[in-house]
């Protein structure tokens, strides 16, 4: 790693006008496992990949429910996420107490963004080392926001954060136009497919390592962990690691060999291992 | 750069031997890469416009606004670090509210600019904070009519007829100088503003962008609704609001067409034009 004089704290600009400490905090997100969020006209779904530190240890928390209509998925330092989500819960409760209504999604998101910005401007503070995907429903419908340690917030149709999340984003970019009209289950499946693309060659989605949360118009936030995830994984159909799926596809190709052009192109772009799961989409 | 390696640029609030505050200058650098943002002080109001590059097609169009309302009669556009801009905007809102509490009146734009200038300046005084990485264009109207100010990270602020900041500020400035904003009506102004954003964008053509544009006007279509929503609230009749969609779309369309026509003419004498732009 290279050091320079301008990266000791978040109150020093570099000669180019950058704040390195904030940029490093953004890197912390990439150390965490991936989380994907996506929205339809009626629902928002969060799916996340859980890691376990050791064989006998439990899997980490990736999705934190905030309120009946609101939940977050995180990537990065989970203690920082807990601080932020506690704050969001306070905001949410205050809204219910004061105004007798669930807090608007944009309002809580803006509140944590303002909180995070202060940490980038004062000596002795550090930026939060966590990225969040905030899913919620309010009077204006379903919303998905991304929060970054810089205090930047952006509203998305579909977003992915964490390790190897670029692959998930690629999937979302290719498919997001169909999201608005899909059903609740299909939305989750799209999420799982995006999440699956972030996996390493020898890994697969299991009931242990997958976390799902859905919230919709007139439908409270529901979280699915452990055995409850099974029905979604079953719907996803294909199982096995990416290399196993690819191998299976190779034999299928030898017999049929009629994968359409788009998928060939996709396979070429994503490298040899990826061909399997993209072509597989046509078989489902 | 001479500032690097001297040690005088490592902390805020430190002067170099020749009397400069490098951290403030670096904060200005953060703005120089920001989105092109302009303000026009027209005959009958203010226009604020900003070029918003579309960094991902997954972003919700029209969301993630860069121009905000400070008070009913004042708007603010920031360029530079987005979260800093948000903080700055929040402060402006607090100032506007506090003015209402103290004086039972809407804040004059000049006073608000002064307060915000002082706020920015305070962040150049201490080594425990850093200056704001934003330039803010503040537009509004009061008893003296429309007013436009631009506040820099140093806390310096000036009143303008036409202001520009961000990446395309040079091109935008030279376009604004060709105009006489005070003689423009708002309706003419939005067309000019859209054209200027398109011209300033020229350098990085390949990227897609959307234009965000607001105005401060005395005859707003939504003003009546706004007024009924404010029982007992003092309000000077001016409204900061988004430029109506159809007007903005029309202005964008015309601007695009004008640019394309210019490009065709240019083809013969590209060199000359380039020189002009560089100046």
Residue A117 and residue B3: Cβ atoms within 8 Å? no
Residue A261 has pLDDT above 60, yes or no: no
pLDDT at B237: 86
Phi and psi of A153, rounded to 5°? Answer: -130, 140
Closest-CA residue to B60 (of A153, A188, A223): A153
Closest-CA residue to B163 (of B11, B256, B37): B37
SS3 A233: helix
* pLDDT cut 70: percent of chain A above it: 87
Confidence of residue A257 (pLDDT cuts 50, 70, 90): very low
Distance from CA of B10 to the nearest CA of A (A): 7
Q: pLDDT for A24-81, tens place per residue?
A: 999 999 999 999 999 999 999 999 999 988 888 889 999 999 999 999 999 999 999 9
Touching B: A residues 72-131, CB under 8 Å: 110, 113-114, 116-118, 120-124
pLDDT at B63: 85
Bridge partners of B59, per DSSP, are A156
Lowest mean pLDDT among A127-141, B151-165, B209-223: B209-223
Residue A12 and residue B23: Cβ atoms within 8 Å? yes
DSSP state of B219: S
For chain B, give the mean pLDDT.
90
Residue in this structure with the two tokens 């005088």, named with its chain if needed: B8
Closest-CA residue to A108 (of A96, A91, A95): A91
Q: Which of B12, B58, B86 sits opposite A117 (nearest CB)?
A: B86
pLDDT at A3: 76
End-to-end CA distance of chain A: give it in Å, rounded: 45
Which two three-digit tokens encode residue B27?
């904060």
Mean pLDDT for A262-274 is: 43
> Which residues are CB-contacts of B239 (< 8 A; sequence separation ≥ 6)?
B72, B73, B216, B217, B218, B220, B222, B223, B226
Angle at A74 between CA A70 and CA A75, to 5 degrees: 165
Q: Order of strands, edge to edge, in the sheet holding B134-142?
A: B67-71, B74-80, B134-142, B145-151, B157-159
> Which residues are CB-contacts of B143 (< 8 A; sequence separation ≥ 6)?
B108, B236
CA distance linking residue B155 with residue B173, whole number of Å: 21
Mean pLDDT for B248-273 is: 78
Residue in this structure with the two tokens 């360029």, named with its chain if needed: B79
CA distance linking residue B127 with residue B131, whole number of Å: 10
Phi and psi of A274, rounded to 5°? Answer: -75, -20
- A-B contacts at Cβ under 8 angstroms: 103
Confidence of residue B234 (pLDDT cuts 50, 70, 90): confident
Q: Which of B3, B59, B123 sits opposite A15 (nearest CB)?
A: B3
Residues from chain B contacting residue A110 (CB–CB below 8 Å): 86
Residue-wise burial string across A101-117, b where 16 or more C-beta atoms lie within 10 A, e elsewhere: ebbbbbebbbbbbeebb
**Could you tell me where the beta strands, DSSP code E, fall in chain B?**
37-42, 45-53, 67-71, 74-80, 134-142, 145-151, 157-159, 162-165, 209-217, 239-242
Q: Which of A19, A150, A172 sits opposite B58 (nearest CB)?
A: A172
Residue A258 has pLDDT above 50, yes or no: no
> Which residues are CB-contacts of B43 (< 8 A; sequence separation ≥ 6)?
B182, B183, B184, B185, B186
Mutation pick from A5, A8, A13 vs chain B, by most beta carbons of B within 10 Å, is: A13
- State the ipTM, two decimals: 0.88
Closest-CA residue to B250 (of B190, B174, B182, B202): B190
DSSP state of B252: H
Mean pLDDT for B26-55 is: 96
Residue A151 and residue B86: Cβ atoms within 8 Å? yes
Which two three-digit tokens encode residue A3?
């050091």
Q: Which of A18, A151, A169 sits opposite B83 (nearest CB)?
A: A151
SS3 A270: helix
CA distance linking residue B77 with residue B251, whole number of Å: 20
Residue A14 and residue B26: Cβ atoms within 8 Å? yes
Q: pLDDT for A71-123, tens place per residue?
A: 999 999 999 999 999 999 999 999 999 999 999 999 999 999 999 999 999 99
Residues from chain A contacting residue B127 (CB–CB below 8 Å): 11, 123
Mean pLDDT for B83-91 is: 98
Closest-CA residue to A46 (of A71, A67, A28): A71
């Amino acid at each position: 790693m290279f050091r320079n004089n301008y990266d000791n704290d978040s109150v020093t600009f570099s000669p180019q006008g950058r704040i390195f400490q904030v940029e490093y905090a953004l890197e912390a997100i990439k150390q965490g496992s991936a989380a994907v969020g996506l929205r339809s006209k009626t629902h928002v779904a969060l799916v996340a990949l859980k890691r376990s530190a050791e064989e006998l240890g439990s899997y980490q928390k990736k999705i934190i429910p905030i309120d009946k209509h609101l939940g977050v998925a995180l990537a990065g330092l989970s203690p920082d996420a807990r601080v932020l989500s506690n704050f969001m819960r306070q905001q949410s409760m205050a809204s219910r107490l004061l105004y007798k209504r669930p807090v608007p999604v944009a309002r809580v998101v803006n509140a944590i963004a303002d909180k995070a910005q202060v940490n980038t401007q004062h000596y002795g503070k550090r930026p939060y080392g966590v990225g969040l995907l905030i899913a919620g429903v309010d009077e204006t419908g379903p919303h998905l926001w991304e929060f970054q340690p810089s205090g930047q917030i952006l509203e998305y149709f579909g977003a992915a954060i964490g390790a190897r999340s670029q692959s998930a984003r690629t999937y979302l970019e290719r498919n997001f136009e169909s999201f608005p009209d899909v059903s609740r289950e299909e939305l989750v499946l799209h999420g799982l497919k995006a999440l699956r693309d972030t996996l390493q060659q020898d890994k697969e989605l299991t009931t242990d390592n997958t976390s799902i949360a859905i919230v919709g118009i007139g439908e409270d936030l529901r979280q699915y962990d452990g055995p409850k995830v099974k029905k979604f994984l079953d719907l996803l159909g294909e199982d096995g690691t990416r290399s196993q799926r690819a191998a299976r596809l190779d034999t299928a190709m030898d017999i049929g060999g009629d994968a359409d052009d788009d998928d060939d192109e996709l396979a070429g772009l994503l490298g040899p291992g990826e061909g399997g799961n993209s072509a597989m989409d046509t078989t489902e | 750069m001479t500032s690097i390696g001297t040690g005088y640029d490592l902390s805020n609030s430190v002067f170099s031997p020749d009397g400069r505050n490098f951290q403030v200058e670096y904060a200005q650098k953060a703005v120089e890469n920001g989105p092109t943002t302009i303000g026009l002080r027209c005959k009958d109001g203010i226009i604020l416009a900003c070029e918003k590059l579309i960094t991902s097609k997954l972003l919700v169009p029209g969301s993630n606004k860069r121009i905000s309302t400070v008070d009913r009669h004042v708007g603010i556009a920031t360029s530079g670090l987005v979260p800093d801009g948000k903080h700055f905007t929040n402060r402006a809102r607090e100032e506007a509210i506090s003015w209402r509490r103290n004086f039972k009146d809407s804040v004059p734009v000049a006073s608000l600019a002064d307060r915000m200038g002082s706020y920015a300046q305070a962040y150049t005084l201490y080594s425990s904070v850093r200056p704001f990485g934003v330039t803010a264009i503040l537009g509004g109207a009061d008893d003296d009519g429309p007013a436009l100010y631009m506040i820099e990270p140093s806390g310096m602020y000036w009143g303008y007829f036409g202001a520009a900041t961000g990446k395309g500020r040079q091109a935008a400035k030279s376009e604004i100088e060709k105009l006489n904003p005070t003689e423009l009506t708002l309706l003419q102004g939005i067309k000019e503003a859209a054209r200027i954003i398109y011209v300033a964008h020229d350098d990085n053509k390949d990227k897609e962008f959307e234009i965000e544009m607001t105005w401060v006007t005395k005859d707003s279509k939504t003003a009546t609704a706004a007024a009924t929503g404010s029982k007992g609230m003092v309000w000077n009749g001016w409204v900061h609001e988004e430029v109506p969609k159809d007007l903005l779309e029309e202005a964008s369309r015309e601007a695009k067409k004008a640019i394309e026509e210019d490009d065709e003419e240019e083809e013969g004498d590209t060199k000359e034009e380039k020189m002009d732009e560089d100046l």
